[in-house]
A and B are shown apart, each in its own frame.
Chain A
Amino acid sequence: MLNTSEILETIGMISRQKLDIRTITMGVSLFHCAGDDPKAVSRKVYDTICKRAENLVRVGSDIEREYGIPIVNTRVSVTPAALITAALNDPLPVAQAMDKAAAAVGVNLIGGYSALAQKGVTQADLRLIRSLPEALSATERVCASVNVASTKAGIDMDAVRLMGEIIKEIAEKSSGTGGAACMKLVVFANAVEDNPFMAGAFHGPGEARRIAPSTWAYPARASSR
């Protein structure tokens, strides 16, 4: 019944070689938060994240303990913000609400301040993209992404050019930290809907209300940043 070599190898991997370290990401749908009143939208975003993820960190610790696996990072990912802020003039309050909610529930990062622009940049996409320098340098935990291409739709060259300019602006805006805000942005081609990997994590429009946390393991050295 016991495979002793497998067991000893697994334990060695975790305790001595530090080779198995997990992160967990909970996907949360924010579709019901959409509206045209920025205060109401922000409050709903904050409340939803706080409610759905309130036990995430604690349960992560319990899992860590029961299975003896280190979980070094806990995250939340949400519906691409460009979709839920489409009726707002400025999506930035939602980034701030996401940041506050992430701090409240105690997660390390929150992804989904995102736009899906592979087939064209909508006004909502444009507002979100233009807000990225401020959003990423003024918040701590928010991660953003923009999908600019897909195999089916091709490459949206306007989006590509725009992102080139925006990345430089983000770097300038966060020059005090060596352009560190750029680390919280991913520009995608063929982004998948259920992607839990930061900084590009978001909860795709086709996903269910809340996705049970997914995990990823990666070596200790990569995770130490």
Chain B
Amino acid sequence: MRAVITVIGKDRTGIIAKVSGLLYESNVNILDISQTILEDLFAMIMLVDTSGASLSFEELQDALRILGADMGVEVRAQRAEVFDAMNKV
């Protein structure tokens, strides 16, 4: 299942490393990444494949949210279809 993970918040050291690390540990494959840093605002979007994940999607969402909270950024994971449904006819 493809999901989109977004990380938005104040930039600090280790965000990419920690999020990627969690995904690696959970056997989630990263398909695409885009990130931007505007002054001190960090925004990262990842397209991932959770078909081989060792956690359920709900557990992954929770783990990412907690990780984000520790780092002071907002991390959300959603199924990728929602973005197609919103933006494409």
Q: Which residues of A contact B (CB under 8 A)?
A: 1-4, 6-11, 13, 20, 65-69
Q: Which residue of B lies closest to A13 (CB)?
A: B86
**Residues B4 and A1 in contact, CB atoms below 8 Å apart:** no
**Contact status B86-A20, CB under 8 Å:** yes
Give 15 A-B pairs besides A2-B32, A10-B82, A68-B77 with Cβ atoms closer than 8 angstroms: A2-B33, A2-B45, A4-B36, A6-B83, A6-B86, A7-B83, A8-B43, A9-B87, A11-B8, A13-B86, A65-B58, A66-B57, A66-B58, A67-B81, A68-B78
A-B contact count (CB 8 A): 49
Let me know if B45 and A67 touch, CB within 8 A.
no
Chain B, 20-73, CB within 8 A of any chain A CB = 31-34, 36, 43, 45, 47, 57-58, 61
Identify whether the interface residues of B are mostly helix, strand, loop, or mixed: strand
* A132 to B32 CA separation, bound complex (whole angstroms): 57
A2 to B57, CA, bound (A): 20
A68 and B87 form a contact (CB under 8 A): no
A30 to chain B minimum Cβ distance, whole angstroms, is 31
6 sample A-B contacts, Cβ–Cβ < 8 Å, listed by A number: A8-B43, A9-B87, A10-B83, A65-B58, A65-B61, A68-B76
| A204 shortest CB reach to chain B, Å | 25
Judging by beta carbons under 8 Å apart, are A67 and B34 in contact?
Answer: no
Within 8 Å by CB of A66, from B43, B47, B79, B83, lies B79
Cβ contact of B45, chosen from A8, A13, A66, A69, cutoff 8 A: A8
The answer to whether A10 and B87 touch (CB under 8 A), given A2-B34, A67-B79, is yes
Q: Are the CB atoms of A3 and B58 closer together than 8 Å?
A: no
**Shortest distance between the CB of A66 and any CB in chain B (Å):** 5
| Chain B interface category by residue count | 20 to 34
Tell me if A6 and B87 are in contact (CB < 8 A).
Answer: yes
A10→B59 CA distance, assembly (Å)? 23
Which A residue's beta carbon lies closest to that of B35?
A4
Rounded to whole angstroms, the CA-CA distance of A2 and B47 in the bound complex is: 7
Most buried by B among A65, A68, A69: A68
**Residues of A contacting B61 with CB < 8 Å?**
65
Residues of A within 8 A of B82 (CB): 10, 67-69
Asked if A7 and B6 sit within 8 Å, CB to CB, the answer is yes
Q: How far is the CB of B37 from chain A (nearest CB, A)?
A: 13
Q: Check A7–B4 contact: CB distance below 8 A.
A: yes
CB-defined contacts of B76 to chain A, threshold 8 Å: 11, 68
Determine how close the nearest CB of chain B comes to the CB of A69; give it in whole angstroms.
6
CA distance A65 to B56 in the complex (A): 13
